[in-house]
Copies of this chain bind each other. A is one copy, B any other.
């Protein structure tokens, strides 16, 4: 059957950033339809958001438990849920969604600790549901193309990988931090990684995803550059991938003047066109 998947969104209320992106991305190809949600813990905010997105008011909630229960009672209830809440809530929400028999689309990071990650892997396996972690850059056409070129052997054996991810938006003092910045620099909400957890994980995921090689050893330099920061706002990592392949990740949120300058280079051992004679 080819009809769109019915899903709900947890998070995405007025003022949030990533929830609306999930809705847009899910809707682009017309393969998903947003039919329910718990957009905010505040009833009027959740209702406002549901209305603006054309969601039936009877299917708008303020709590994910209530949402899952109400939908389970409907013949046309949700098949999947997208989770777009702050980092610290992901593990519990995913666990509950799987328990409710739902497929799950979860924003990164997956969990705050290795123990939670191991536990979650077990839950997913047992559930036989799709668990999708949205490393958004993995979906870009250029990234897919890069990965395909590696997989087909076009560049030969991978010999070096460099990923850079400079941002500048946290380059000013934490005193003036915006709402988006504030939870990201708070260990209680963001977890133990600052820049590393927020954007370094994207760089790391791309290294393995595009090269097809797992990281084996690493040496990281995490810096707190802006005075008063409690988590790293700049991180630089040397790695060796399987087969002793050197790799460098440099990511920063204090790189003044940069917006979102993600770039990736994978070098292979095939001679490039540039060195051919004509």
Residues of A within 8 A of B (CB): 2-4, 20, 23-24, 27-31, 33, 48, 51-54, 149, 152, 154-155, 159-160, 162, 164, 166, 168, 171-172, 219, 221, 223, 225, 234, 236, 238, 240, 244, 246, 248, 250, 252, 254-259, 265, 267-275, 278
Residue from the list B2, B234, B246, B269 in contact with A223, Cβ < 8 A: B246
| Docked-complex contact A52 and B23, CB < 8 angstroms | no
Inter-chain contacts of A28 with B (CB < 8 A): 24, 27-28
Contacts of A254 in B (CB 8 A): 159-160, 267, 269
Q: Shortest Cβ distance from A74 into chain B, in angstroms?
A: 17
Whether A248 contacts B248 in the complex (CB less than 8 A), given A267-B257, A269-B171, comes out as yes
For A222, give the chain B residue with the smallest CB separation. B246
Q: Contact check: which of B23, B219, B236 meets A248 at CB < 8 Å?
A: B236
A273 cross-chain contacts in B, Cβ below 8 A: 257, 273
A sample of 21 cross-chain residue pairs with beta-carbon separation below 8 angstroms, ordered by A number, consists of: A4-B52, A24-B27, A24-B28, A27-B28, A30-B53, A159-B234, A160-B252, A160-B255, A171-B267, A171-B269, A171-B271, A221-B246, A223-B244, A225-B246, A236-B248, A248-B250, A255-B267, A256-B268, A256-B271, A257-B272, A259-B274
